[in-house]
Structure 1
Amino acid sequence: MKLALFDLDHTLIPIDSDHAWGEFATRIGWADPQVFKRRNDEFYAQYKAGTLDIHEYIRFTTEPVRRHGASAAAEAQARFMREVVGPAITPQARALVESHRKAGDQIAIVTATNEFVTRPIAQSFGVDELIAVQLARGPGGWYSGDIAGTPSFREGKVTRVGEWLAARGRGWGDVDITFYSDSLNDLPLLEKSQQPVATNPDDTLRSIATQRGWRILDLFKEEQKQ
């Protein structure tokens, strides 16, 4: 199997969807602007530095969704896609995904952002296979604030892709993987891939990719040229 894996934030889209959702939740009055923005920015800085506590972050970022309930959350989610994410998706990113689809590759998005935020984004790319942070549900069937299973973050992405393969009767030796990512946090999965592609990489990942001879793709710069 030829498998094309895509990180999402700053890889396929030029924004961090988790951080953007937090800002959107503040804008629509779901959170105190000053408190939420300060904590959201702190968590984002930790993510970029590779020090994020993913469990603490998920409890924080899902709090407005949990408090407002399923119906209001679905409406806000659709509005977020229309107003924030949709306009940020570039033709270049869509073309990259489509190139793998035309080649007959199996495509999946592998992201450390939770499934509530990212499922509609994956669907907008026509990608059915989403490996995201799974949100646990409480007795009432709504999100509890906890993570179900292994979070798809750092080494957890390797674990979750391995589980995804096993569910299809395959192992790492049965696939030829191309993985696109911008982040040093994804180094474990990049190292497991036959074709790692540092995509819009941060400075540290760009340096590592250069040293190791990995392909470097500045996707959004390419879009700006056209």
Structure 2
Amino acid sequence: MNNLALFDLDHTLLPTDSDKEWGRFLVRIGAVDKVAYAQANEAFYADYRAGTLDMPAFLRFALAPLSQYSRAQLDAWHDQFMQEVILPAILPSALALLDKHRSAGDLCAIVTATNSFVTRPIARQLGVEHLIATEPATVDGNPNARFSGDYLGTPSFREGKIVRTEQWLSQLGKRWSDFERSYFYSDSANDIPLMEKVTDPIATNPDDTLRTAAQQRGWPIIELFQ
């Protein structure tokens, strides 16, 4: 029986937050208002770290720029974002962790609240086939059309990560009980619901709240980054 290995992305496999950094990148290249957008981006990130994020409000903010530009322009910017921001942040320790689970034959997936436009190329670069992320909606539902600024279904955030993971498993014809062990690596207290669902939660570069919870519950704590 194979195992299931789930990984948060931001501050877990990456020593940064790809959602926040994408917002900063848009500010830097002049694609959004350099004052108002920058201030809101930092404020939403602070709310996320504090565990008080209004996810629908954040998604309206984060997905709005995607609706204002063509897919070709966004893809070109994302290529630049990968080169300038993401590739330098991919470290050997994260790659080794992924390789350990792949070598063991585990079914691996990244489970992230960050939208799939930002994260799919990152997952591909990390060599992870399966991505569970918040899905941006497109005009008329055409997956290749312009983004609408809305999102589809349940955001992959807090309890929503359980919902989305179970939907993904169902699409594969699988259930939790099909796996002898299920791992979830995360840095954030926002992910405690999914950590409680798996057999092997691992607090990874944890924030203070998650570190305390992990110590109280006897969960392993690992540090991939200094």
Q: Tell me the TM-score range normalised by the shorter chain.
A: over 0.9
What's the counterpart of residue 222 of structure 2? 217
| 3-state SS in 2 of match to 1:219 | coil
What's the counterpart of residue 206 of structure 2? 201
What's the counterpart of residue 224 of structure 1? none
What's the counterpart of residue 195 of structure 2? 190
* 1:150 and 2:154 are equivalent in the alignment: yes
Amino acid at match of 1:100: H
Percentage of pairs with the same residue: 53
Task: Encode CA deviations 1:99-126: one digit per residue, 9 max, x unaligned.
Answer: 1111111110000000000000000011
Amino acid at match of 1:60: F
| 3-state SS in 2 of match to 1:134 | strand
Paired residue total: 221
Q: Give, in angstroms, the shift of residue 52 of structure 1.
A: 1.3
Task: Encode CA deviations 1:139-176: one digit per residue, 9 max, x unaligned.
Answer: 37321111101110000000011111111222222222
Amino acid at match of 1:178: Y
Task: Encode CA deviations 1:78-133: one digit per residue, 9 max, x unaligned.
Answer: 00000001001101111110111111111100000000000000000111100000
**Conserved in 2, the CA contact under 8 Å of 1:55 and 1:146?**
no
Show structure 2 runs of 5+ residues with no match.
none
| 3-state SS in 1 of match to 2:35 | helix
What's the counterpart of residue 166 of structure 1? 170
Task: Encode CA deviations 1:173-199: one digit per residue, 9 max, x unaligned.
Answer: 222211000000000000001110000
Matched residues in 2 for 1:133 and 1:76: separation? 20
**Conserved in 2, the CA contact under 8 Å of 1:55 and 1:147?**
no
**Conserved in 1, the CA contact under 8 Å of 2:19 and 2:118?**
yes
Q: Give, in angstroms, the shift of residue 70 of structure 1.
A: 0.6
* 1:7 and 2:8 are equivalent in the alignment: yes
| 3-state SS in 1 of match to 2:203 | strand
Matches within 5 A, 1:129-148: 129-139=130-140, 141-148=145-152
4+ aligned runs moved over 6 Å, structure 1: none
Amino acid at match of 1:132: A
Q: Mean alpha-carbon deviation: is it higher for 118-127 or for 136-145?
A: 136-145
Q: Give, in angstroms, the shift of residue 51 of structure 1.
A: 1.7
Task: Encode CA deviations 1:54-79: one digit per residue, 9 max, x unaligned.
Answer: 22212211222221211100000000
Show structure 1 runs of 5+ residues with no match.
222-226
Matched residues in 1 for 2:174 and 2:120: separation? 24
Matched residues in 2 for 1:55 and 1:71: separation? 26
Matched residues in 1 for 2:48 and 2:139: separation? 27
Instruction: Report the TM-score when normalising by structure 2.
Output: 0.95
**Conserved in 1, the CA contact under 8 Å of 2:63 and 2:150?**
no
What's the counterpart of residue 72 of structure 1? 73
